[in-house]
Amino acid sequence: MPENSFRLIVRIVLVGFVAVVVQEAAISQISIFGVNADITPLVVMSIGLLCGSLPGAIAGFGIGLFVDTALFQTLGVTSLLYIAIGYWSGRLRELRDPSHGLVPLACGAAATGVAGLGMALIQFLLGVDAPVSLLLLQQILMSVLVNTLIALPVYEIVRRILYRALPADPRSRRRRSYTTGDFSPLQQPSQRLGSARQR
């Protein structure tokens, strides 16, 4: 295994472990607008956006399993939701290459919505006694709002921790080569020939 890959795995494991511990020990005790912020789906989303679909899905499974274990919930419920969040965040990075600074905000809102609605739906299907009402929907919407406000700081913290261990993105190398004077594949052959003659 390359050293960079090992370092990335270690950092992802540490980020996930610390995120769950901080969430359950501190953040879950703080109420904002009547709801609690939840950084764990934001961390999974951030890992997916930074590392890709496969690392995002694996991190989502591990973090979700740790959350279920820490809260003595049905094992695998949170993992299932977090796998989807990590995978689709990674697919967004791989297919669209999002570079806008506000992308983590939108992804954080979507991740929180998927986690909240998905948990309510799975509990309902499993027959768990959970109130399904407009009040639950209101709480999910407020959770989405609160998590959207903290999505960017959480993403930046995760990015700073993982940045040095991230593999180089070949697309960024291609973009740099085009801006430094190398040929783009969209350039016409005649333009390439003219530039070569001038040299």
pLDDT band at residue 3 using 50, 70 and 90 as cut-offs: low
In whole angstroms, give the CA distance from residue 20 to residue 66.
7
What is the rounded average pLDDT for all residues in the chain? 83
User: Which is more confident, 109 or 128?
Assistant: 109
For residue 110, give both structure tokens: 């979507």
In whole angstroms, give the CA distance from residue 121 to residue 83.
16
Q: What are 7-43's pLDDT values in tens digits?
A: 999 999 999 999 999 999 999 988 888 888 999 999 9
What CATH number was assigned to the domain covering residues 3-167? 1.10.1760.20
Does the structure show a pLDDT above 60 at 191? Answer: no
36: three-class secondary structure by DSSP: strand
Residue ranges per structural domain of the chain? 3-167, 171-199
Residues 141-168, mean pLDDT to the nearest whole number: 91
Residues 76-91, mean pLDDT to the nearest whole number: 94
8: Cα within 13 Å, side-chain hemisphere = 21
pLDDT band at residue 127 using 50, 70 and 90 as cut-offs: confident
Does the structure show a pLDDT above 70 at 135? Answer: yes
Residue linked to tokens 């801006």: 179
Residues 57-68, mean pLDDT to the nearest whole number: 96
**pLDDT for the residue numbered 129:** 62
Residues 42-69, mean pLDDT to the nearest whole number: 95
The answer to whether 146 and 39 are in contact (CB under 8 A) is no
- 182 exposure class (CB count in 10 Å sphere: 0-12, 13-18, 19+): exposed
The answer to whether 82 and 44 are in contact (CB under 8 A) is yes
